[in-house]
Amino acid sequence: MGWKAFLSFLFFLLVIALLILYWFIPFDTVEFGTSISNPNFNLNSTSLNNMQFYSNLRYPDSEISYKIYDECTLQKKQDMERAFEIISNLTVLKFYSVNFNEGLSIFCDEKNKIENDLFIAGEGGPVNITQTDNFNVIFNARILLIQDFRCDIPNVAIHELLHALGFDHSSNKNNIMYPVTKCGQSIGEDIPYWVNYLYSFETLPDLSFENISAVMKGKYLDAEISIRNNGLKKTESVKIVIYADGKIIKEIPIESLEIGSGKIISLANIWITQLSIDEIKFVIDSNFDELDKSNNVAVLKTKK
Ligand SMILES: [Zn+2]
């Protein structure tokens, strides 16, 4: 064997050694069968917006007030408080007890209810929702705790709390939102992720124009303007300023608007000094932060 043949034999051995290292040394461990016990709400998560009764359901604020009514036993009261603790550890939400005007009301019923051969463990969901362009805003939700169900975590109370936060039932048996409660079900990762996404938007108002129409009659302008608060907080008072080619022609004061409420303003015979105008601009002049400021301006061009 010449030295060349010897070198290529050595090289061959080296390649074999590297291949053995590559194929047989376990750098990563793979656990088989994890997909069977996937606890998420969605088993094949394409969109996360399908988990709730309506799109983008949330309370105005991440701090939610609650009241547990006196009829609840100490055990149910403790289960509910433990559910609050678990959800606030997993998300940005905080829960605090009040005596009246609560955002979340918890009632209890000691009588067992049976439907389709199953014990009804509880009921829960939003009862007062205001629809806006950005969110469906929850003002009040109710929980009714019926059956005690002993697991390591208070599954029934958590399930009903998630309903109150707007979550629907999941078709995954391992998820806590499955219609039939069993110990061992868990919250998964997509529910806390979606809660944190929804509440990542600050509690701010959001005034925007809904419709604007304007007509010039000679030197007079007629206009109809509608605005709405699509935000998560009552607005302070603002003014709408109308410009004709950059020059202010009218200012209209608007008093504060609650979440979801709006106003229609009809204007007639505003005298315009310019001989001809190319554009009329409408501006919501607010001196507070909003979810979106870019929707505070609308421009109409005159048709030539
Ligand atoms: Zn349910």
What is the per-residue pLDDT across 240-259, written as a single tens digit (0 to 9) for each?
A: 999 999 999 999 999 999 99
Q: State the DSSP H helix or E strand holding residue 16, giving kind and residue range, or none if neither.
A: helix 3-24
Q: Are 167 and 141 in contact (CB under 8 A)?
A: no
Pairing type for strands 262-271 and 220-229 reads antiparallel
- 58-83: average pLDDT: 96
Ligand 1 centroid distance, CA of 233 (Å):
30
Q: Residue 68 corresponds to which tokens in the numbers above?
A: 């547990």
| CA 198 to centroid of ligand 1, rounded, Å | 21
CA of 142 to the centre of ligand 1 (A): 13
Condensed to tens digits (0 to 9), the pLDDT of residues 24-47 reads 544 444 444 444 578 999 887 677
CB-side neighbour CA atoms (13 Å) of 227: 30
At 20 the pLDDT is: 59
Dist. CA 202 → ligand 1 center (Å): 29
H-helix or E-strand containing 122? strand 122-131
The residue among 258, 224, 252 whose CA lies nearest residue 238 is 252
CA dist 138 and 168 (Å) reads 15
Q: How far is the CA of 18 from the centre of ligand 1 (A)?
A: 56
Distance from residue 169's CA to the centre of ligand 1 (Å): 6
Give residue 75's pLDDT band: very low, low, confident or very high (50, 70, 90).
very high
Ligand 1 centroid to residue 180 C-alpha, Å:
8
Q: For the chain, first and last CA: distance in Å?
A: 95
How far is Cα 15 from Cα 8, in angstroms, rounded to an integer?
10
The rounded Å distance from CA 179 to ligand 1 centre is 5
Q: Give the DSSP H or E segment for 185.
A: none
Distance 92 CA to ligand 1 centre (A): 23
Cα 176 to ligand 1 centre (Å): 9
CA distance 53 to 51: 7
117: left (phi over 0), alpha (psi -120 to 50) or beta: left
Q: How far is the CA of 36 from the centre of ligand 1 (A)?
A: 22
Please name the amino acid found at residue 272: I
Report angle CA 150, 93, 186 to the nearest 5 degrees: 35
Averaged pLDDT, 55-80? 96
CA of 122 to the centre of ligand 1 (A): 7
- Rounded CA-CA distance 206/258 in Å is 11
- Rounded to whole angstroms, the Cα distance separating 221 from 274 reads 12
DSSP summary character for residue 96 = E
How far does residue 197's CA lie from ligand 1's centre (Å)? 23
Distance 77 CA to ligand 1 centre (A): 19
User: Model confidence at 298, in pLDDT bands (50, 70, 90)?
Assistant: very high
Q: What is the pLDDT of residues 5-20, one digit of tens each?
A: 877 877 777 666 666 5
Domains of the chain (ranges, CATH numbers): 46-198 (3.40.390.10), 207-301 (2.60.40.10)
- In the numeric block, which tokens belong to residue 257? 């608007």
